[in-house]
Structure 1
Amino acid sequence: MQNIVWLLLTYKVPPEPAARRIAVWRKLKGMGAVYLQNGVCLLPKTDDHVRRLKMLENDIAEARGESVILETVALDQAQENKVVERFKADRDEAYAEFLDKCNDFEREVAKEIAASHYSYAELEENDVDLKKLRGWLAKIRKIDFYGAERAAEAAERLKGCEAVLDDYARRVFDAHDEDR
């Protein structure tokens, strides 16, 4: 048995204003927390997670809420596996969304090529979109604590998007050289 040590956070925040509840949820999701049920979530124990949960505990108190942070381990290997699978499933869901955006990116570039629309402005816009994809994948990887199945596929798709943009850039540069 691995005996992964987790941080368990239970919290209640008043329903109004809803913005505070949403802010807590966003912070926890951004950290990669897995919800076991409403107001109960887990994170692998790291110094960073301890620090960030203590700060969140303060935010919850300021919102007139209640919270408790506990250190915990699974009862047995089967329970630990269940939790790790929840983490992997959440990350695979995020990777699937990322892959959809890669499809959108590639379709957009293909549309420009089909229309023979080779402008620097369009290239710059697509370059900004590619940077967003890179940043998004980096965020997902940072919270992929247990190696979700779709991680490698997402990395390959990003390389594919980079190749598509490189090809488009060559076409833009070639089109502008011909104009001279």
Structure 2
Amino acid sequence: MTQKHKQKSPRWLLFFYSVPSKPVSSRMRIWRKLAKAGAVQLKGAVYILPFNEEHHEFLQWLVSEIVGMKGDAAVVSILKIDTMQDAEIVALFDQQRASEYKILQKSFDDLGRRLSSIQKGAKPQNVKGISDQLAKLQKEFEAIRRIDFFSSKEGTALDEKIRRTHADLKSVSGQGTKQERPAVMTSKSSADYQNRTWVTRKKPFIDRMASAWLISRFIDRNAAFDFIDEKDINAIDKGFVTFDIRGGEFTHSGDMCTFETIMKSFGLRDKPLKKMAEIIHDLDMKDDKFGAAEARGLEDILEGIRKTAKNDRDALEKGVNVFEMLYASKS
């Protein structure tokens, strides 16, 4: 009598390789690709990555490339390493990312000192140059964070520092000198907004697509959506709910986009939602408040939807699907 066992999924990918000593450029190219992917060296030419399909495919292509160099390579999927605990392996990844963050930390510290001196009344500096440097460092940070597979504490700390640096830059550049009063809004209950028709402006784009997804996902599962010209807002039925439209029930409030307003109104505090809100804010408000690196790519996708959709309803449905995928990626 045989007993069936549920097969466990692999946890790690081990990559072994050897390449001819010459040309040296070939060896360096492989090393750079492994480093960019976030692989950590275990011993000699043995590297490790957390198991997922993307990493597995990447390493398979790398095997083909190395074979083309007259070298040898192999990929192995494993559940564990007998001589190491998973926590020890995770620590190796965190240490590697920490060393990379440390290099960036020095550059952000320098920017912070320059901004601090301006705030204290020192001789004005090239704020545009500081802004450009901050944008460059932000991209470098995002590149490391993409391979910070286990969310190291160093990455979290540096992320907070970057947010403060963006706020300091905004204040010295004159954008933040006029303080916006915090938006006052009434708390809402989703129970009062069931099976409703939600109305917004025609030609839906970033904030409207995202807000429609938020509504149907977390507030009104049976929501219907309709579109009007902004000038017709006073002519709609009283039972309809208006959003992202001038004079609407849910729209921009203070420095918040509609997506953020709806989140706050209904008390939605899901961590992935907060990450999405930062991206949507930067795209819709165009103030780079959060420096969301994903914003540009998402905008390109939504622009493609807007150009190819058959009508407003088709555009909204496709946009909602994109935000569902974005939510899954942040969860």
**TM-score for both structures, normalised by structure 2:** 0.46
Corresponding position: 1:51 with 2:57: yes
- Secondary structure (helix, strand or coil) at the match of 2:22 reads coil
Counterpart in the other structure of 1:86: 92
Cα distance between partner residues in 2 of 1:16 and 1:112 = 52
Match of 2:153 among 146, 149, 154: 149
Which shows bigger deviation, 94-103 or 74-83? 74-83
Q: Is the 8 A contact 2:20 2:70 kept in 1?
A: yes
- Secondary structure (helix, strand or coil) at the match of 1:170 reads coil
Q: Is the 8 A contact 2:104 2:137 kept in 1?
A: yes
Cα offset, 1:86, TM superposition = 0.5
- Secondary structure (helix, strand or coil) at the match of 1:144 reads coil
Structure 2 gap segments, 5+ residues each: 1-7, 178-331
Counterpart in the other structure of 1:178: none
Corresponding position: 1:97 with 2:103: yes
Please give the root-mean-square deviation of Cα atoms over the aligned residues, in Å: 2.4
Q: Is the 8 A contact 2:10 2:77 kept in 1?
A: no
Q: Is the 8 A contact 1:4 1:80 kept in 2?
A: no
Percent identity over paired residues: 26
Cα offset, 1:106, TM superposition = 2.1
Which shows bigger deviation, 36-45 or 144-153? 144-153
Letter in 2 for 1:99: Q
Please state which structure has a larger fraction of its residues in helix: 1
Which shows bigger deviation, 68-77 or 54-63? 68-77
Cα offset, 1:85, TM superposition = 0.9
Corresponding position: 1:9 with 2:25: no
Which shows bigger deviation, 91-100 or 77-86? 77-86
Counterpart in the other structure of 2:123: 116
Counterpart in the other structure of 1:62: 68
Cα distance between partner residues in 2 of 1:6 and 1:59 = 21
Higher relative contact order (CA 8 A, sep 6+): 1
Q: Is the 8 A contact 1:141 1:151 kept in 2?
A: yes
Counterpart in the other structure of 1:176: none
Cα offset, 1:162, TM superposition = 0.8
Cα offset, 1:103, TM superposition = 0.8
Which shows bigger deviation, 104-113 or 136-145? 104-113
Letter in 1 for 2:30: V
Letter in 1 for 2:99: E
